[in-house]
């Protein structure tokens, strides 16, 4: 499975910031707050930013970034038409040529390498994670592929097959995954030259029936997520606005919703484009919360007979449009 390649270079998403600790889901990031005044956490800000910039790396260059504590993703994403920049969302997947496997169950380095070698897999990089300890080691194994993968389904299949065949963490296989860097002494193995043949990796994925474990991406709003919010959160936002501003914001929102309700395609554009763009416009407004926007939009779609024979999943499209709009709010109106 492992072949020699004189130019083991791949394009990845790589963040610029160096960390000396694992980014936290609770610690505030540089005093930043969301539209409710709640602290934005390190992971939330980092997760929103990652994917914007890409870079070409060899295994050696990636190892250097890892020991600098830089966050990265094996996956490259397309430019979001609304945001005008790359966005780390599975639906915008462009390509990948690197895959990673996490080992969080305390396996030893020798056990990990032996199991991989039995399948003909040799890691380019094996390193300790930020949270690894002598009592409970945690590792990440990284392989460079012999060719770039541009098909999302194939990328998901290979990532899933790799994790299941090697006994890694099978919950860490989505194609919008981000990986944290680690400490300066975290690298335990590095091979800058080898690549893993994609065809052989596909055979391994088939042998563990990886296709049965591949899941599709559907953002699921949660009432406790700050961005999605509840109807009560929406009321609190309204109540903080002056009467004049509240009236202005509501008129703006109703105008956009009316465009969905009255859309008939006569002026060009598809139903998908109509729903996506207008949902995103409302969701980017700091005076709205996701769950309420979703209800507003779905109600207008239901009121418009032009959508009666629509063969798309309206709820999924609306949820995706809202999810993509987080952390890209418009200035207050």
pLDDT band at 223 (very low <50, low <70, confident <90, very high): very low
Instruction: Give the DSSP H/E element, type plus range, for residue 142.
Output: strand 139-149
Q: Is 125 exposed, middle or buried (0-12, 13-18, 19+ CB in 10 A)?
A: buried
- Does pTM surpass 0.75? no
The residue written with tokens 């914001």 in the block is: 249
Give Rg (Cα) of the chain. 22
* Confidence check: pLDDT of 332 > 60: no
Average pLDDT over residues 271-275: 92
Kindly list the domain boundaries of the chain, sorted by start residue.
Answer: 2-212, 231-325
Average pLDDT over residues 301-316: 93
SS (H, E, C) 218-240: CCCCCCCCCCCCCHHHHHHHHHH
What does the alpha-carbon distance between residue 140 and residue 324 come to, in Å, rounded to a whole number?
Answer: 29
Q: Mean pLDDT in the chain? A: 88
What residues does 126 pair with on adjacent strands? Answer: 141, 189
pLDDT digits (tens, 9 = 90+) for 155-191: 999 999 999 999 888 766 778 889 999 999 999 999 9
pLDDT value for 179: 95
């Amino acid at each position: 499975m492992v072949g020699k390649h004189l130019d083991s270079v791949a394009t990845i998403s790589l963040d610029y910031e160096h960390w000396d600790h694992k980014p936290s889901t609770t610690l505030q990031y540089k005093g930043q707050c969301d539209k409710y005044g709640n602290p934005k956490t390190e992971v939330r800000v980092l997760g929103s930013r990652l994917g914007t910039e890409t870079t070409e790396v060899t295994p050696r260059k990636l190892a250097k970034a890892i020991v600098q504590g830089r966050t990265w993703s094996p996956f490259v994403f397309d430019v979001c038409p609304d945001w005008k920049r790359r966005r780390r969302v599975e639906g915008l997947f462009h390509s990948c040529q690197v895959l990673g496997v996490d080992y969080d169950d305390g396996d030893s380095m020798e056990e990990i390498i032996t199991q991989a070698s039995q399948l003909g897999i040799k890691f380019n990089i094996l390193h300790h994670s930020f949270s690894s300890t002598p009592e409970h080691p945690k590792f990440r194994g990284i392989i460079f592929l012999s060719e770039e993968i541009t098909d999302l389904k194939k990328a998901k299949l290979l990532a899933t097959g790799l994790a299941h065949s090697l006994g890694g963490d099978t919950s860490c296989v989505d194609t919008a995954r981000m990986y944290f860097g680690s400490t300066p002494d975290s690298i335990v193995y590095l091979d800058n030259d080898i690549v893993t043949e994609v065809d052989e990796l596909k055979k391994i994925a088939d042998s563990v029936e990886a296709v049965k474990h591949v899941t599709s991406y559907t953002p699921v709003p949660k009432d406790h997520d700050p961005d999605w919010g509840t109807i009560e959160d929406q009321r609190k936002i309204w109540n903080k606005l002056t009467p004049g501003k509240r009236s202005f914001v509501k008129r703006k929102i109703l105008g956009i919703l009316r465009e969905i309700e009255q859309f008939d395609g006569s002026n060009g554009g598809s139903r998908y484009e109509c729903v996506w763009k207008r949902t995103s416009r409302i969701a980017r407004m700091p005076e709205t919360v996701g769950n309420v926007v979703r209800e507003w939009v779905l109600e207008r779609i239901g009121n418009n007979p032009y959508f009666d024979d629509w063969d798309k999943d309206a709820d999924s499209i609306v949820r995706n449009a809202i999810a993509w709009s987080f952390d890209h709010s418009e200035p207050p109106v």
